[in-house]
Chain A
Amino acid sequence: MLPDVKPDLKGSDVSKELTIPKLFLEKATLYGKDRVAMREKEFGIWRPITWQDYFENVKYLALGLISLGLEDGDKVAMIGDNRPEGLWAEMAALCARGIGVWLFQDSLIDEVRYIVDHSDTKFLFGEGQEEVDKAISIFNECPKLKKIIWDDPKGMRNYDQDYLISLKEVQDLGRELDRKEPNRFKELIANGHGDEVALLFYTSGTTSLPKGALLSHHNMLTMGRHLMAVDPCLESDDYVSYLPFAWIGEQMMSISCGLQIGYTLNFPEDPATAQENIREIGPHVMFAPPRMYEQMTRSVQVKYLDATWIKRKCYGLATWIGYHVADFKFKKKPIPWYWKILEGTAYVIMQKKLKDHLGLSRVRNAYTGGAAMGPDHFRFFHALGVNLKQIYGQTEVAGISVVHRSGDIKFDTVGHPIPGTEIRITEEGEIITKSPSVFLGYYKNPEATEKALKDGWLHSDDKGFIDDEGHLVVFDRTKDVFTLRDGKPFSPQYLETRLKFSPYIRDSWVVGNKRDYIAAVLCIDYSVVGKWADERKLNYTSYMELSQKPEVVNLIETQIRTANKDLPVAARVKRFTNLYKELDADDDELTRTRKLRRSFVEKRYQDIVEALYSDKDSVHIDTTIKYEDGRQSHIMTDMTIQTVEE
């Protein structure tokens, strides 16, 4: 069993003087060569990087940036996969008194241009050729951009632009400066103050252009300290950093919490090997958006379908026990001794193995946030014995403000505020927050700042209420609440997550606001449905063709019927269609964190929505799609519309 770590609510105050670099210096001096700060899997081997290595790399990089002309408050942007060099760049920018700006690795050129230009970025760190190509193509349009720095030499042999420089060369410049001014680095760190801006964070924005939230050192550090007061971690813990640094959740775990505790950050070999690498490390703490957990659930369900009879029986028995035990916990009832014995049996015959395969065998606390997670997924993990908690927060509070407490978990709520945080509900039902982590404002956008910050209270635009036990319940974004025929408000996200519990459905979009009935547009999971079709010897050549096969449409109908069960008749999906393509962030249909941009898809697929509310049984699609490299292709197809039989 895992050691129990007791919450420590003492000493949760953070001095205003403290900055991220000061804390970094303190930890690096304390741990030196004796502790591993981070590991990266490279060439098939986990390679450790000690705090001493981490410190030196950051120091010379920071001084190198100073030699290149970085001044106080200059922006340094970073783009690339999760890797030590990415974090060094961020830390170096902060140590040199700059401001860090992270971009999503898969951002298209327009997004990179917008953020680099809007943030007045002076230095851009790109990982390798792909990122450098993006940066070069916007260089002339962003006059403030001075240098592009890269660290992976692969494919870089033919680049000779004078504004390109390698990370190693920057560090060499830093070494030179260090010889001339040996105290410069420490002076830079000592001059910092907690109220200074540390990060400029672009929010993913389901409705509009991204807004740049200014977060101070104090914001970040208090957030981490308060979360760690609720769910403490140990120095010896491991954390796997594989989600984009441009997502506040990853910053919170890697910087705000990681630096305060000093746990080891582990970077996967390649984004494609992340799941395998998580299993190898077996992290103690995990924070991921619901889609990662949905993916895990789907892979378990698919493996189940493939397993032998005896394995399926064991799984069935163990999950039956698991769900019962989880229900005792949800109801906060003591678990009778015979259920405890059964729980032990379930652990031995199934849970232990399955948790190991998912990389969850050592997880003390697993968090999910950033979007709504359905109760089905939530219960699934508790039935496995994983202590999964919902959190609520936003970029504007440097991460999170509300979290479930161990032993007090309700899957329809997000829990209690963390220490130092006050949550209130306005008369209109809007959730407002006050805490030392509330951000400083939006960069170059006073109107938005004024709207979001009133008397120190952060207005979230989310609706919710506080239940009898003090748990916060969050509805969706104000605009995303539907009114049913009988006039009752209803959350489409609830239905969407319910539909996504089927392994065959990857994405769902529910429509029906002020309509006669609810309808859904679904994206099949290509690999799962593809395998299902292979087994039935159904031929198909593309996602588009597979999604429209009558057999597949019928399969999806049975899945919807399952999801419809137990729902009031008015809230059931009546008609649906399988979309001819997957929803994609590159097409602006999803945000970079994979949240549905409802108003955008409503406009884009207006014809489909209209057809769902007519008596037609198909809708004709004639459209042009654009690939990432600019090529275009013309698509013509008919999408089947089906009514779900009662």
Chain B
Amino acid sequence: MIASDEIKDDDILLELADIHMSFGKVSALAGVSLKIRKGEIHSIIGPNGAGKTVMMNCINGLYHPQRGDIYYKKERINHLRPHQRAGLGIARTFQKVEVFGGMTVLDNIRLGRHIHYKSGIVSGAFYIGKTDREEIEHRKFIEEEIIDLLEIEQIRHKPVGRLPYGLQKRVELGRALALEPELLILDEPLAGLNLEEVEDMARFILDVNEEARWKVTCLLVEHDMGVVMDLSHRVFVLNFGNMIMDGTPPEVQSHPEVIKAYLGEEDLYATRR
């Protein structure tokens, strides 16, 4: 593995240390280590089957690695379940959208906000006092910060299942943002989108990363090299369970091993532009 730059400990939001994960005899991750710095956009690239999605699943707790440690803000979180990790500020979107098709856009986003509701079951049943105030507070957040950001005003009351795929992806991002995450994991956010939707989505990712209001650290799995190289501060290259490179986009683009393993396959992973 090629060493990354020295990083100060305080800057690290998430650290994976020597993660091993295998399914039967198939080793999906064979001792992967990486450090994610606060406030940056990181991308993971690699051919199909490289272990990218497995790594995402290990971070948000869907899978528990057989060996190795995961540290979030210096705390070891191996034992935590997905909802507990969400409570710490880790949100994600999925490669194939996982939205509630029969529910409206607003309800889907509200669901992401659920973790922040503090009032109890009795107050909730009668919808008085604290619940009422809380509801207004959260609705305000959803309208002002999410619906406005993602420009989905015209569909807020529409059932998500009836929306085009590109908008469903946007709604899923909205739901992840409703959590007010510190770390946002995006699993192929651009797959299946047309050029205009790709441009919109790239802009939203930049917005949540750069806007003072959000400052969200992003971890991106993506095949669109043009977008990956434009957006990312750092790129990790994964190949059959091994991390073969960790560097800035120009470093990654010029490294012979990476070109051989991944970028060279122009036909397979050609960028849209």
Contacts and interface: CB of A to CB of B under 8 A. Distances in A.
Interface stretch (B85-93, B151-159, B229-237, B246-254): B151-159
B211 A269 contact: no
B36 to A, nearest CB: 23
A236 interface: no
B9 interface: no
Q: Which residue, B147, B148, B149, has most C-beta atoms of chain A within 10 A?
A: B148
Contacts of A157: 210-212
A276 interface: yes
B224 interface: no
A568 interface: no
B207 to A, nearest CB: 7
Contact of A276 (B140, B154, B212): B154
Interface string A397-429: 000000000000000000000000000000000
Interface in A297-346: none
Contacts of A3: none
Interface residues of A, number: 12
Contacts of B156: 44
Contacts of A155: 203, 207
A131 to B, nearest CB: 16
A83 to B, nearest CB: 13
Interface in B178-222: 203, 207, 210-212
A43 B210 contact: no
Interface string A42-68: 011100000000000000000000000
B144 interface: yes
Interface in A6-45: 43-45
A43 B143 CA distance: 5
Given A155-B203, A155-B207, A157-B211, A43 B140 contact: yes
Contacts of B144: 43
A44 B203 contact: no
Nearest to A627: B195
A637 interface: no
A539 interface: no
B96 to A, nearest CB: 22
Given A155-B203, A155-B207, A43 B154 contact: no
Given A270-B153, A273-B153, A44 B207 contact: no
Q: Which residue, A44, A157, A272, has most C-beta atoms of chain B within 10 A?
A: A44
Contacts of B151: 270
A44 B153 contact: yes
Interface in B118-167: 140, 143-144, 147-149, 151, 153-154, 156
Interface string A264-278: 000001101100100
A273 B148 CA distance: 13
B45 to A, nearest CB: 26
A272 B151 CA distance: 10
A44 B210 contact: no
Interface string A133-174: 000000000000000000000110110000000000000000
Judged by DSSP, the binding face of A is loop
A272 B153 CA distance: 8
Contacts of B210: 157-158
Contact of A273 (B140, B154, B203): B154
A273 B154 CA distance: 5
A274 to B, nearest CB: 9
B136 to A, nearest CB: 11
A280 to B, nearest CB: 12
Contacts, number: 27
A158 B209 CA distance: 13
Contacts of B147: 43-44
Given A44-B147, A155-B203, A157-B210, A270 B140 contact: no
Contacts of A270: 151, 153-154
Contact of A44 (B143, B149, B211, B212): B143
A276 B155 CA distance: 11
B62 to A, nearest CB: 34
A379 B71 CA distance: 71
Interface in B72-106: none
Contacts of A269: 153
A43 B203 CA distance: 20
Contacts of A44: 143, 147, 153, 156
Contacts of B140: 43
Contacts of A45: 143
Nearest to A158: B210
A43 B106 CA distance: 12
A529 B236 CA distance: 47
A130 to B, nearest CB: 11
A154 B204 CA distance: 11
Contacts of A43: 140, 143-144, 147-148
Interface in A242-297: 269-270, 272-273, 276
A154 B203 CA distance: 11
B195 to A, nearest CB: 9
A126 B210 CA distance: 23
A531 to B, nearest CB: 13
B154 A272 contact: yes
A270 B153 CA distance: 7
A352 B76 CA distance: 64
Contacts of B153: 44, 269-270, 272-273
Nearest to A43: B143
A158 B210 CA distance: 10
B122 to A, nearest CB: 29
A273 B156 CA distance: 11
A67 B119 CA distance: 52
A14 B211 CA distance: 51
Nearest to A153: B211
Nearest to A41: B153
A43 B148 CA distance: 7
Contacts of A273: 153-154
10 contacts: A43-B143, A43-B144, A43-B148, A45-B143, A155-B203, A157-B211, A158-B210, A270-B153, A270-B154, A272-B154
Interface of A: 43-45, 154-155, 157-158, 269-270, 272-273, 276
Closest CB pairs A-B (n = 3): A43-B143, A272-B154, A273-B154
Given A43-B144, A270-B154, A272-B153, 11 more contacts: A43-B140, A43-B143, A44-B143, A45-B143, A154-B149, A154-B207, A155-B207, A157-B212, A269-B153, A270-B151, A273-B154
